[in-house]
Chains A and B, each alone.
Chain A
Amino acid sequence: MKRTIGERKLINSLENENAIEVNHLSKSFILPTERAWGLKQAIFNRLRGVKGYKNQKVLKDITFNVKKGEFLGIVGRNGSGKSTLLKILSGIYYPEKGSVVVNGNLVPFIELGVGFNPELTGRENVYLNGALLGFSNKEMDEMYDDIWDFAELKDFQDQKLKNYSSGMLVRLAFSIAIRAKGDILVLDEVLAVGDAEFQQKCNDYFSSLKNQNQTIILVTHDMGNVERFCDRAIMIENGKVMVEGSPKDVAKAYLDLWK
Chain B
Amino acid sequence: MAIPKVLNKKNRILLKELTKTDFKLRYQGSVLGYLWALLRPLLMFAILYIVFSKLLRFGNDIPHYSVYLLAGTTLWSFFTECTSQGIQAMLSRGDLIRKISFPKYIVVVSTTFTALINLAINLVVVVIFALINGVMPSLTWLIVPVLILELYLLSLGIVFLLGAINVKYRDIMSIWDVCIQALFYAVPIIYPISMVANSSIVFAKIILLNPIAQIIQDVRYFLITPETTTVWNFFDNQFAMFIPLAIVLLLLITGSLYFRRKSKFFAEEI
Contact = CB atoms under 8 A, between A and B. Distances in A.
B222 to A, nearest CB: 38
B264 A92 contact: no
A114 interface: yes
Contact of A136 (B13, B28, B100): B13
Interface in B47-70: none
A115 B96 contact: yes
Contact of A39 (B16, B28, B169): B169
Interface in A189-227: none
Nearest to B175: A39
Chain A interface helix/strand/loop/mixed: loop
Given A115-B96, A120-B24, A128-B17, A38 B169 contact: yes
A131 B96 contact: no
A58 B95 CA distance: 22
Given A120-B24, A134-B10, A3 B96 contact: no
A94 interface: yes
Nearest to A140: B13
B14 A131 contact: yes
B90 to A, nearest CB: 14
Residue with the greatest number of chain A CB neighbours at <10 A, chosen from B13, B18, B95: B13
Contacts of A90: 100-101
A92 B24 CA distance: 27
A37 B96 CA distance: 21
Contacts of B233: none
B170 interface: yes
Given A38-B171, A91-B101, A132-B96, A3 B21 contact: no
Interface residues of B, number: 29
B36 to A, nearest CB: 16
A115 B265 contact: no
Given A5-B264, A42-B169, A132-B14, A110 B21 contact: no
A131 B17 contact: yes
Interface string A107-120: 01011001101011
B142 interface: no
A38 B10 CA distance: 35
A136 to B, nearest CB: 6
B102 A132 contact: yes
Given A40-B171, A87-B267, A136-B9, A120 B100 contact: no
B101 A117 contact: no
Contacts of B100: 90, 92, 108, 110, 114-115, 132-133
21 contacts: A30-B268, A39-B172, A42-B169, A90-B100, A92-B98, A92-B101, A94-B265, A108-B100, A110-B99, A110-B100, A111-B99, A114-B95, A115-B95, A117-B21, A119-B29, A124-B24, A131-B14, A131-B16, A132-B14, A132-B17, A136-B9
Given A108-B100, A136-B13, 8 more contacts: A38-B169, A94-B265, A110-B100, A120-B21, A128-B17, A131-B14, A133-B100, A136-B9
